[in-house]
Chains A and B, each alone.
Chain A
Amino acid sequence: MEPLTGMGVLALMGAAATIAGASEDLESDVGSQSNPNSQVQLAPQMMYPHRIYNKAISGEPPSNALICAIGGTVATVLMVTGAAAILALIVGSFVAMLVHGTYSVTPYIGRSASQKRFKQPIYLDIIRSHTPVIMGFAFITTFCILVISYLMISALGHPFPLPLLAFIWGIAIGAIGSSTGDVHYGAEREFQNFEFGSGLNAANSGNIVRKAESGIRNGIDNSWFCAKFGGPATGLAFGMVVFLSGWITVVFDPSISDTLGWEAIIAGVVIVLILIAFNRKIEVDARKRYGPYKVDDEEVGA
């Protein structure tokens, strides 16, 4: 393939991945999923009932893999019957979105009902207002993942079938979303009532913020906050993963010769080394700027 076409396809994939990452993270913030949700689950037990969605479908990777695999499957079925790719991908994402809607409602009502002794009510207006938002974000995520997978297969010649490739990217985006953007929701947004600049003291577990700028806080308020940093950063992460892992083989095309293939591997190693250096720089910077929390007892004693 023409290297220039490859770069164009890759740029499109990277852009789609960035959108997918951001929408995935915001979807999990509206619904409160994955690890930060453990605090939402804990709060009623600590006498803090709340009006926050409790979308405990599973961890984010399986639930995103589900919607992406369903989208890929329905799209493949439609393409087998001769539908145009773009229509097939949209209908596939639509079906996935509907399934995601039912998967979101069951844990909210189920987990709230299982907290009867802590007097956690079920709010129907929360279901009515949040579920469409969750479904909308799920549609965007699924559609972008399907675009990435479809481009990989049709333009870059990847051998995996569409449902399987979409499934794997679903696992990957869920893993990235729960590792990056969720921290912003879990460590900062849920505990804004505590001083900025430290981790959550274990003694404050479950004491999540329940009052909003106006009224009582809900998941949509949380996504508003996380859209400022957590969501875009997740998009950046997933976009980088898709772009960089494809970039090395598009620039150094292994189908021309094995030597170029090895150069692709070397390019990958260089990228990893740069990332290590970048991480170290952030670490040193943070330590210098923020300083230690405690005084060194040994030095004081001496």
Chain B
Amino acid sequence: MSAGGGGGGAHAAIPQNNLIAFGVVGGLVFIYAAYFLVQIAGPYMSFLGALGAICGIVWGASAVRRVANYGLGTGVPSIGMLAIGIGIIATIFGLAVGGIIGPILAVIFASLIGLVVGFLGNKVLNMGIPIMVQSTTEIAAAGAITIVGLSTSMAGTFMFFDEVVNGLTVPGVATTVMEPGYIAVIFIMGALAILHPYNANLGPDEKQDRTLACAFEKGGIAMIITGIVATVTPLASGTVTIVVGVVIWYVAFSEYYKRVKRDAYMISGAGLLPSKEELE
């Protein structure tokens, strides 16, 4: 892909700090709510995990928007793949060692590796992007929240290992998500949901709210697929996840299209190219 951005900071109506808070707090609250409410109220609450993932996706998409605006030299997708690669490593580690604090550990370790990679990018690779360190940290952490959230929604728990509760074996993330390979779809859905919104709106007249509406829409798609997987896992219920996902997708797509109509030069049912006079 072509390198994007004209250099300099991206104009933003919503300050990045609010989005960081939205991503971290919203993401973790939803993930923990999913975990506890599944145990208290039943498997159908597992959809909350995917809502946590959407918080992470929106935050990540916003961070991609900020850093990619500087022009990375390799296009927008690379930083998304980098972040989700870090996210998957930190998530496997965090959930495996953390137990109940697994999601928090995953976010912390993702931020740590993101920080190191961002620092190396600027100091060793001489990229010279002022917000590189902060952005890789943010995107990696957002990737970890996305992966943990979608995994929780698929499995109904974020416990890594199988547990025995009241004589029944409760399968953990390792058994329900990793072993059958569903982690691959989480990996790529998370990566595209984070990197696609800015890539899809690249251009001089890009607007933050439009890009973020697109992020919500891609989050809705990730939620629907997560729901399809959740139908076959014992501790999670797919129906609610799919229905909520479809609603989020529809609302977000309508909002996105509304903003496209607002921003576009012209929306035409069919027609010729703009004439020479129009272009002048």
Residue ranges of A at the interface with B (Cβ–Cβ < 8 Å): 34-35, 37-38, 41-42, 47, 49-51, 56-59, 62-63, 65-66, 69-70, 72-74, 76-77, 80-81, 95, 99, 102-103, 106-107, 109-125, 160-167, 170, 210, 216
Contact = CB atoms under 8 A, between A and B. Distances in A.
Q: Which 10 A-B pairs have the closest CB atoms?
A: A114-B203, A161-B181, A38-B2, A107-B200, A164-B181, A163-B181, A125-B270, A167-B184, A110-B201, A121-B266
A124 B2 contact: no
Contact of A117 (B80, B180, B184, B204): B204
Contacts of B80: 58, 62
B221 A102 contact: yes
A111 B189 contact: no
A90 B189 CA distance: 20
Given A116-B205, A161-B179, A56 B200 contact: yes
Nearest to B191: A62
B209 interface: no
Given A77-B229, A115-B204, A117-B205, A109 B184 contact: no
Interface of B: 1-2, 75-77, 80-81, 179-185, 187-189, 191-192, 195-196, 199-207, 210-211, 214, 217-218, 221, 225, 228-229, 231-232, 249, 253, 256-257, 259-260, 263-274, 278-279
B188 A65 contact: yes
B199 A57 contact: yes
Contacts of A81: 232
A113 B201 contact: yes
A161 B177 CA distance: 11
A289 B232 CA distance: 61
Contacts of B76: 58
Contacts of B256: 106, 110
Contacts of A160: 181
B275 to A, nearest CB: 10
Given A59-B1, A121-B265, 11 more contacts: A41-B202, A69-B185, A73-B181, A73-B185, A73-B228, A113-B260, A113-B264, A115-B204, A119-B278, A160-B181, A161-B179
B62 to A, nearest CB: 15
Nearest to B276: A47
Contacts of B273: 49-51, 210, 216
A106 B193 CA distance: 12
A80 B259 CA distance: 41
B265 A72 contact: no
28 contacts: A41-B2, A41-B203, A49-B274, A51-B273, A62-B77, A62-B188, A63-B192, A69-B189, A70-B185, A73-B225, A76-B180, A77-B229, A80-B232, A95-B228, A99-B225, A102-B217, A106-B256, A110-B210, A110-B214, A110-B256, A111-B201, A112-B265, A114-B203, A114-B207, A115-B205, A121-B264, A167-B185, A167-B188
A112 B192 CA distance: 20
Given A49-B273, A77-B232, A109-B257, A57 B192 contact: yes
A123 B268 contact: yes
A116 B1 contact: no
Contacts of A124: 267-270
B69 to A, nearest CB: 12
A34 to B, nearest CB: 7
Contacts of A56: 1, 199-200, 202
Nearest to A51: B273
Contact of B181 (A58, A118, A122, A162): A162
A119 B185 CA distance: 38
B269 A125 contact: yes
Contact of B187 (A47, A121, A161, A167): A167
A281 B205 CA distance: 48
A114 B263 contact: yes
A123 B271 contact: yes
Contacts of A118: 204, 265
A106 to B, nearest CB: 5
B199 A115 contact: no
Nearest to B266: A121
B258 to A, nearest CB: 11
Nearest to B76: A58
Contacts of B191: 62
Contacts of B189: 66, 69-70
A141 B257 CA distance: 28
A165 B278 CA distance: 51
A34 B231 CA distance: 35
A161 B265 contact: no
A103 to B, nearest CB: 7
Given A102-B217, A109-B264, A114-B206, A69 B188 contact: yes
B225 A109 contact: no
Contacts of A38: 1-2
B205 A58 contact: no
A243 B272 CA distance: 46
Given A41-B2, A116-B265, A72 B181 contact: yes
Contacts of B77: 58-59, 62
Contacts of B264: 109, 112-113, 116, 121-122
